[in-house]
């Protein structure tokens, strides 16, 4: 029976995606899981896999076309089978929709902005233009009645971005969406930061012990960050508020612990998801991390790779950073910023000692918890780091 190739919904806030190109031609035989086309949403460029085995036929969307999610764009048929008649667009099964729901689901909801009226007012046309021109309405001066942002204001803002001597670096869709989400996170989440210096010796020892075993077994050598991710995920089990979502004024505890790892791709950053990281051993996390990094570098991330994280770990240790603070990605409520392991003189048992130390800084959404929530999480993380073998 013919299988429909459906434009997948990558983002519940969007209605369509752009078909970048077919990787297979009509008449070509494809097998389930093989990448057959590439699409671009304002979140990312992703490959779409063949939903089954068959011969690609009845292609209905050309390269460059903007296609509503749920539309059938081609068919996989068997030898000698005809392409089914055109039919109404197919609704995605609810579970599929759920699976690919991104964490930034309410990203495009009208955002409150500072101003005399407390709320930013923008006309429907202004909002549409802002989206089309990639203008952040938050920075636009509204010239209409009561400061309403009108279409002309958006056009002026877009024009103002034109070069006045320097050069303009245009952003791709993925980078723009990342910028938008970061801005939204910073605007809407009341961040606060709690830091702790941790003794890195047990972590280093653990890596030295595990790495040879894993490598010998043909696995990927775990980094310190992979180990940290494994420990953080386990600590999150007893800190549900730190692994929660903030949705419409209430705290939603996430059923799973899916840790997002910030991966630098050029000047951009991508958050790759390690699903159920609390159930994966360091070797599995390392393998997943390498897979994500390779796909990110190649621009081949799948929807499932980048959607649905419940907590983020960002590590700048490899760049020599001692400590830093990070911005929470909504609707997540926390992010852990990890610095490098560096030798420091610390007081141990009443004597100054040189000890490898690592700074971690938790940014937490103050709506889900206060200083105590953050401190207790870091205390448990310190405890897990001190005796990693107990939790791993």
40 in Cβ contact with 82 (< 8 Å): no
CB of 152 or CB of 345, closer to another protein: 152
- DSSP label of 197: E
**Shortest distance, CB of residue 67 to another protein, whole angstroms?**
19
Q: How far is the CB of 141 from another protein (least distance, A)?
A: 9
Give the DSSP H or E segment for 342: strand 334-348
Give the Cα separation of 282 and 288 in Å (integer). 10
- State the DSSP H helix or E strand holding residue 377, giving kind and residue range, or none if neither: helix 371-386
According to DSSP, residue 274 is labeled E
| Identity of the residue, 123 or 182, whose beta carbon is nearer to another protein in the bound complex | 123
Contacts with another protein by CB under 8 A lie at 123-128, 142-148, 150-152
Closer of 145 and 320 to another protein (Cβ): 145
Least distance from another protein to the Cβ atom of residue 153, Å: 10
User: What gap in Å lies between CA 137 and CA 303, rounded to an integer?
Assistant: 27
CB 174 within 8 A of CB 268: yes
Q: Which is nearer to another protein, 127 or 176 (CB)?
A: 127
* Comparison of 77 and 154: residue with beta carbon closer to another protein: 154
Contact criterion met (CB below 8 Å) for 374 and 311 = no
- Of residues 115 and 212, the one with the C-beta less far from another protein: 115
CB of 148 or CB of 199, closer to another protein: 148
d(CA 4, CA 194): 50
CB of 150 to another protein, least distance (A): 5
Measured from the CB of residue 110, what is the shortest distance to another protein in angstroms?
14
CA distance 261 to 336: 10
Closest contact distance (angstroms) between CB of 115 and another protein is 10
- Least distance to another protein, CB of residue 135, Å: 15
Buried b / exposed e along 177-206 (16+ C-beta atoms within 10 A): bbebbbebbeebbebeebebbbbbebbeeb
């Amino acid at each position: 029976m013919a299988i429909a190739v459906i434009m997948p919904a990558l983002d519940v806030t969007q209605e369509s995606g752009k078909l970048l190109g077919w990787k297979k031609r009509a008449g070509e035989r494809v097998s389930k899981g093989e990448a057959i086309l590439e699409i671009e949403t304002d979140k990312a460029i992703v490959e779409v896999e063949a939903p089954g085995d068959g011969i690609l036929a009845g292609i209905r969307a050309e390269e460059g076309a903007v296609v509503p999610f749920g539309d059938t764009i081609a068919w996989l048929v068997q030898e000698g089978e005809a392409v089914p008649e055109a039919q109404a667009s197919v609704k995605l099964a609810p579970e599929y929709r759920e699976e690919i729901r991104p964490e930034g689901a309410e990203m495009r909801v009208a955002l409150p902005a500072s101003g005399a009226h407390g709320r930013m007012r923008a006309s429907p046309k202004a909002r549409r233009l802002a989206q089309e021109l990639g203008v952040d309405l938050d920075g636009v001066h509204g010239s209409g009645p009561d400061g309403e942002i009108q279409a002309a204001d958006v056009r002026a803002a877009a024009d103002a971005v034109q070069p006045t001597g320097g050069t303009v670096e245009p952003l791709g869709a993925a980078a723009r969406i990342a910028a938008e989400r970061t801005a939204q996170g910073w605007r809407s989440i009341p961040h606060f930061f709690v830091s702790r210096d941790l003794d890195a010796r047990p972590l280093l020892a653990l890596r030295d012990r595990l790495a040879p075993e894993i490598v010998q077994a043909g696995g990927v050598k775990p980094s310190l960050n992979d180990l940290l991710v494994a420990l953080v995920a386990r600590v999150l089990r007893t800190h549900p508020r730190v692994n929660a979502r903030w949705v419409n004024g209430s705290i939603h505890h996430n059923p799973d612990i899916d840790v997002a790892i910030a991966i630098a791709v050029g000047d951009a950053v991508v958050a790759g998801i390690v699903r159920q990281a609390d159930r994966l051993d360091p070797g599995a996390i390392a393998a997943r991390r390498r897979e994500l990094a390779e796909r990110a570098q190649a621009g081949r991330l799948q929807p499932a790779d980048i959607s649905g994280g419940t907590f983020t770990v960002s590590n700048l240790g490899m760049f020599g950073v001692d400590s830093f603070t990070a911005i929470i990605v909504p609707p997540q409520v926390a992010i852990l910023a990890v610095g490098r392991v560096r030798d420091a003189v610390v007081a141990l048992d009443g004597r100054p000692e040189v000890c490898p130390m690592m700074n971690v800084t938790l940014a937490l959404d103050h709506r889900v918890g206060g200083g105590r929530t953050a401190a207790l999480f870091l205390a448990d993380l310190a405890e897990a780091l001190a005796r990693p073998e107990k939790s791993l």
